[in-house]
Amino acid sequence: MRETAELIERAIEARERAYAPYSGFMVGAALECSDGEVYTGCNIENAAYSPSNCAERTAIFKAVSEGRKDFRRIALVGGKKGEMVAPAPCGMCLQVMAEFCRADEFEVILARSTEEYEVKKLAELLPFRFSL
Ligand code: THU
């Protein structure tokens, strides 16, 4: 497993590619697979608002579309220009994580920097998950 700081660094780099002209809130995600491979994502907004996609889902959909479904953890950073806060994933992204990850094992790293972060289990963030 790579260093947590290294994974957060990948999320910080991904945030640079955020397309967020409407909210100005830029998010980066770095999703680690069981073999250590990392898929990154950023939020991508749209003038019609609803078609916007969060950074977490960008990373997960990139990975799934490349044939991966074995995820260990995801690091997130976000904030407007010049600030960094630790964003909690929205409910839709948590439900997408629940589709592919074991909620009692998968870790969500909410980071403000490579040194300042909190680690939550998906089960803590989404205790009741919809499944069929
Ligand atoms: N956003 C994310 O990408 N991930 C989160 O965890 C929370 C919110 C995005 C959606 C939108 O583009 C912007 O941040 C403001 O809500």
Does the reported pTM lie above 0.85?
yes
Protein residue whose Cα sits closest to atom 10 of ligand 1:
54
Asked whether residue 30 carries a pLDDT value surpassing 90, the answer given is yes
Ligand 1: distance of its center to the CA of 131 in Å?
24
| Confidence band of 90 (pLDDT split at 50, 70, 90) | very high
Catalytic residue set: 56
Q: Which of 29, 97, 84, 22 is nearest to 52 (CA)?
A: 22
Position in ligand 1 atom list of the atom nearest CA 23:
15
> pLDDT averaged over the chain?
97
What residues flank ligand 1, with Cβ below 6 Å?
A: 20, 23, 25, 27, 43, 45, 52, 54-56, 87, 89-90, 93
Provide mean pLDDT across the span 68-93.
Answer: 97
Instruction: Report the pLDDT value the prediction gives residue 2, as an integer from 0 to 100.
Output: 72
- For residue 125, give both structure tokens: 């963030």
Q: Three-state SS across the chain? A: CCCHHHHHHHHHHHHCCCECCCCCCEEEEEEEECCCCEEEEECECCCCCCCCECHHHHHHHHHHHCCCCCEEEEEEEEECCCCCECCCCCHHHHHHHHHHCCCCCCEEEEECCCCCEEEEEHHHHCCCCCCC
Asked whether residue 96 carries a pLDDT value surpassing 90, the answer given is yes
CB-based contact 29:11 (threshold 8 Å): yes
Instruction: Report the pLDDT value the prediction gives residue 63, as an integer from 0 to 100.
Output: 98
Written as one letter, the residue type at 67 is: G
Written as one letter, the residue type at 128 is: F
Written as one letter, the residue type at 58 is: T
pLDDT digits (tens, 9 = 90+) for 7-21: 999 999 999 999 999
More confident position, 2 or 15? 15
Instruction: Report the pLDDT value the prediction gives residue 88, as an integer from 0 to 100.
Output: 95
Position in ligand 1 atom list of the atom nearest CA 55:
3
Q: How many residues does the chain have?
A: 132
Asked whether residue 1 carries a pLDDT value surpassing 70, the answer given is no
